[in-house]
Structure 1
Amino acid sequence: MSLFDTYIAVDWSGGNDRGAKPKRDAIWACAAGEEPVYLRNRQVAEDWLAARLEAEAGRRVCVGFDFPFGYPAGFAEHLTGREDALALWDWFEARIVDAPDVNNRFDIAGEINARVSGVGPFWFNGLKREVNHLPRKGLDRTNADFPEKRLVEMRAKGSFTCWQMAGAGSVGSQVMMGLPVLARLRRKYGAKVWPFEALDSAVAFVEIWPSLLAPSFPGGMIKDAAQVRAVARAMAVMDGQGSLELALAKGEGSGAEGWILGVGAEDLLEAAMKPIDMPRPPKLRDDCFALPAGVDWTPVDEALARLDAALRCVVGVEQVSHTQVVGRVVAEPVTARRSNPPAPNSAVDGYGFAHDATGEGDQVLPLLAGRAAAGGAYGGTVPHGSAIRVLTGAVLPDGVDTVVLEEDCSVTDTHVAFRGPVRPRANTRKAGEDVVAGSDVFAKGHMLRAQDAGLLAALGVDALPVFKRLRVGVLSTGDELVDPSQNAPPDRTYDANRPMLLQLAAAWNFEAVDLGHVRDDRAALKARLDEAVGQCDVILTSGGASAGDEDHVSALLREQGNLQAWRIALKPGRPLALALWQGVPVFGLPGNPVAAFVCALIFARPACLKLAGAAFAEPQGFMVPAAFEKRKKPGRREYLRARMGSDGVEVFASEGSGRISGLSWSDGMVELPDGAMDIARGDLVRYLPYGSFGL
């Protein structure tokens, strides 16, 4: 079973307010499975941590901070009278003054130096003014009361002494400004601190040092942000593998100095911090959307089959915690880490005994003292012919295989009576009757849901490999479009497609990337597509995909993107432009919002699912009575905006593809097949609720 549910890594800073713009050598925090958060100063960081711990109430949280939790041997006793690191936390918390633009850390260092013999141990005055008893150079020190480094820093190659208050690589200010924050958070949330205390509360603080394995960090982002993301993930992965407990055991015997997580267990930490060594899938072939010669109109089913055959997963793999899996796609088969339930247990509150000690008629069994409860197993063996009090969820003690419901019993202080016969193993659950350890739980391609997170937790599976979120870019084009925030004259149109498509992508658990709006300018469009290649895995455009004078999307994609114009036999939304722009698939959806919406649901969603590593999914339809009449011509599949009523499924009063209000009115679509149909009220038609499209 995992020690924790949530893992947070914090890169601290001893400096003053860093400003609103994210930068290096500042405060960064990250929870495993999430993106790093920039915290502009220590006050903001403390508030963020408090809010996060409040939000995690009821869960077990491990928070790692990248500064020493203690000082070299003897220092805590010198200041507090006790060799107790946590007493030293309180000592600093009572004396440190800290605001975004000013703090007293250098003065406190000087005051401490004044209490010891000689010069030091603190050094490096970072202020323009002189600070009494605080030398600017380490060589000026003469104090020999305390070691230069903690024991763990002697083991951790490249680590710095906590006596240096400023300058390259210093951690002295981080410690002095960080311990008061930890003292307050510890007091407020009852946190236990490793390795000074047993980690038997909901919140644990551990000391980390990201630079212990700096080569393992990913590039391409601010170093501090990359570090906290990697370390948070490493803690989650280690806990899932069972190696976090082994690494924590290495901190024993460190006294009041503290210990760095991973020192002495570098192999475990390094294995967890390394990114999954999986190459990114190659880009799609340039001819993947090409239709056979002579194809004119493509039926919907054929178009979907061709898309399924042409596409494959285009995203890489990453590890995430079970707490962050909703909407993620499993990248490798997931197996149960342990059985559920892990041991035979009781399904009710009652009394347990060996079945073969009972028979028919009235049964009276001696009642043992004590009980078996969930989380409180009975340590002994129940003698044959005796019974014991058993509560729901309790592991069955040795000698018990059957439980009788307490409502069916008469009980005294010494005996329990019930009417037999009782069915063997009644009111009990077998070990692994739900899932057996080592069995397959989820196959590759499964999209995880909230209930799946519960199963993963029950089976002890924390970190698991999933495909990275598909990045879906959405671009609107055309001189006629205006943002809804602006005043539009009658000859201009508000851009409805982009917000609709962006929120469709988000609803489908993809990462929606807003590529904005580009006017009818081919050079600007090319520049925007070039920029999008580095941001997106697939691009959805709307408008400009036909063959008119201002259809720059189709013209540009035809010239440089190997455009394939699929004329699909459906209503609404016949044209569907498909292309590759520098290897990134582009779906050119119709400009009409109703047609864009229908094409996004029917074609873009299953295509994006395939690109994201999931199965090419078709919506689940239901045959329901029609509450409308219609005569349909042959040749095209039709999708009517619809909603369920008391007499069956109703359709929107107008089939006009400009009537966008029909999308809001509806809760699904009626799908009419390619051939001709005469539909009368009460006839069965295929209804596709929007829920079957993941909405």
Structure 2
Amino acid sequence: MSVATPAWLSLDDARERALAATPVLTGTETVLLAEALNRITACAIQAPVNVPPWDNSAMDGYALRAEDADLNTCIPVSMTVFAGDSQIQELARGTAARIMTGAPLPAGADTVVMQENVQRNGDDIVITEPPRQFANIRRKGNDITHGDTVISAGTRLNAAHLMLLASQGLDTVTVYRPLRVGLMVTGDELQTPGTPLQPGHIYESNRTGLKALLAPLAVSVTDYGIVPDDKAALINVMRRACGEVDMLISSGGVSVGDADYVKEVLESLGDVNFWKVAVKPGKPFAFGMMDNTCFCGVPGNPVSAYVTTQLLVRPVIERYQGLAAPTQPLALSATLTTAVQRRAGRTEFQRAVMHPTQGGWQVTPLPRQSSGVMSSVTQANCYLVVPAEVSTLDAGSPATVLPFDTRLTPEGVL
């Protein structure tokens, strides 16, 4: 059954419709921190301990009472405290404790004087710069207080999250189970890399690229391989996927060619929510449901498959995984170095190169923008976004760019 929709949906409308129709995982599992990178937290995590667990020194120096820190007065050093010491006597009045970074503050002390502001004479010290009370002390619970929510539900765990959890003494975390994603490509002309290329064939590359795009999302991938342009073969694979995966991503067969059967098969097995999006590259994008399996049909042209996976498939996966809010690409403003002329009607993501300038960025679109030219992606470091209603962008005008990365190379290019 097909749902009546306008001929083309805008990119924003397509994304919103897809997200609204996407379910959210309910199954959870508890995994070791070492296995939790990029997984999604299934519940909020409260701090079981204070960080730091006790007042401690922020640097190497001398702990004392601020009231005893008179300039040019000899203060005897009565003890030494190392990080890890557990049996520490109370600091006697009028004395100081030699203390190391991270060491517990002895009872009675309320200040640490950094060693650069002290002269040591045998067993005595002379303070050369007056300290402030509580200076250079990390107070108990200053970073995290017992019971605080340290990580919210629906958070994708990164390296910093894992370090924070480890600092709480935790070695496991409860996350949503992995999303099961199936990949298939269609086309009689496609051939697996690593085999001699037959006449009339091309090497299939989309599964390799899509798997790489999905890798940071920590999904479990089932590869259904290359499916011939045969309706019965498509039905068999798509029915099988309904019982095995949460989401099926298909590449190819969603356009209007005589051998493009994917949309027809999807209609027979479930619902087509929408088909065709006003985006370039990537217009023939299909979204629907087969029983409880979400279906995303990306175009067969490599650049179109790559771009629509980033723009439409990734947000669907993030919603399905239980991420609290789908991520948004970083958008910057850059000055065009050359004019852009094109036919308006679709939001276009031109492959481009951006360079830093004094106080800003410049961007130059690459000359070849065909959806079959994958080298345009490898040569680029950003997308130049041309709004749907715009047909002309003048050289020197501002434009929106989406960087591929946020790190600068030695050459100054993202």
TM-score normalised per structure 2: 0.92
Alignment of 1:545-564 (within 5 A): 545-564=254-273
Specify the code of the residue in structure 1 equivalent to 2:56.
N
8 Å CA contact retained: 2:182, 2:222:
yes
Pick closer, same or farther for the CA change 1:627–1:509 going to 2, 3 Å.
Answer: farther
- Residue in 1 that maps onto 2:366: 652
For residues 294 and 304 of structure 1, what CA distance do their matches in structure 2 show? 14
The partner residue of 2:152 within 443, 446, 449 is 443
Q: Deviations over 1:261-318 (max 9, x none)?
A: xxxxxxxxxxxxxxxxxxxxxxxxxx9xx75x45222111111122222223135111
**Offset of 1:569 from its aligned partner?**
0.9
- Residue in 1 that maps onto 2:241: 532
8 Å CA contact retained: 2:338, 2:394:
yes
- Residue in 2 that maps onto 1:590: 299
- Residue in 1 that maps onto 2:329: 619
2:209 equivalent to 1:495: no
For residues 677 and 357 of structure 1, what CA distance do their matches in structure 2 show? 75
Pick closer, same or farther for the CA change 1:562–1:310 going to 2, 3 Å.
Answer: closer
Could you tell me which runs of 5 or more consecutive residues in structure 1 were left unpaired when the two chains were aligned: 1-286
Specify the code of the residue in structure 2 equivalent to 1:299.
S
The partner residue of 1:474 within 183, 186, 189 is 183
Specify the code of the residue in structure 1 equivalent to 2:375.
S
8 Å CA contact retained: 1:315, 1:611:
no
- Residue in 1 that maps onto 2:164: 455
For residues 327 and 480 of structure 1, what CA distance do their matches in structure 2 show? 36
Q: Deviations over 1:112-132 (max 9, x none)?
A: xxxxxxxxxxxxxxxxxxxxx
Specify the code of the residue in structure 2 equivalent to 1:473.
G
Residue 235 of structure 2: SS of its match in structure 1? helix
Alignment of 1:85-484 (within 5 A): 293=4, 295-314=6-25, 316-359=27-70, 361-368=71-78, 370-484=79-193
Q: Deviations over 1:594-638 (max 9, x none)?
A: 111111110001111111111222212111222332024332100
More strand by share: 2
8 Å CA contact retained: 1:633, 1:675:
no
8 Å CA contact retained: 2:333, 2:400:
yes
8 Å CA contact retained: 1:639, 1:672:
yes
**Offset of 1:387 from its aligned partner?**
0.6
Specify the code of the residue in structure 2 equivalent to 1:660.
M
8 Å CA contact retained: 1:299, 1:570:
yes
- Alignment RMSD (CA, Å): 2.0
2:403 equivalent to 1:682: no
Pick closer, same or farther for the CA change 1:637–1:362 going to 2, 3 Å.
Answer: same
For residues 407 and 365 of structure 1, what CA distance do their matches in structure 2 show? 16
**Offset of 1:667 from its aligned partner?**
2.1
Specify the code of the residue in structure 1 equivalent to 2:351.
R
TM-score normalised per structure 1: 0.56
Q: Deviations over 1:410-456 (max 9, x none)?
A: 22333111135311111111111111111011111111111111111
For residues 303 and 552 of structure 1, what CA distance do their matches in structure 2 show? 22
2:251 equivalent to 1:542: yes
8 Å CA contact retained: 2:25, 2:177:
no
Residue 297 of structure 1: SS of its match in structure 2? coil
More divergent stretch after superposition (594-603 vs 320-329): 320-329
For residues 57 and 205 of structure 2, what CA distance do their matches in structure 1 show? 57
More divergent stretch after superposition (418-427 vs 529-538): 529-538
Identity of aligned residues (%): 32
8 Å CA contact retained: 1:363, 1:419:
no
For residues 69 and 159 of structure 2, what CA distance do their matches in structure 1 show? 44
8 Å CA contact retained: 1:641, 1:663:
yes
For residues 355 and 220 of structure 2, what CA distance do their matches in structure 1 show? 35
Pick closer, same or farther for the CA change 1:431–1:463 going to 2, 3 Å.
Answer: same
Residue 568 of structure 1: SS of its match in structure 2? coil
For residues 337 and 202 of structure 2, what CA distance do their matches in structure 1 show? 34
Q: Deviations over 1:233-264 (max 9, x none)?
A: xxxxxxxxxxxxxxxxxxxxxxxxxxxxxxxx
Pick closer, same or farther for the CA change 1:581–1:294 going to 2, 3 Å.
Answer: closer
8 Å CA contact retained: 1:378, 1:397:
no
- Where relative contact order (Cα < 8 A, 6+ residues apart) is larger, the structure is 2
For residues 501 and 528 of structure 1, what CA distance do their matches in structure 2 show? 19
More helix by share: 1
Specify the code of the residue in structure 1 equivalent to 2:268.
E
Q: Deviations over 1:202-233 (max 9, x none)?
A: xxxxxxxxxxxxxxxxxxxxxxxxxxxxxxxx
2:378 equivalent to 1:664: yes
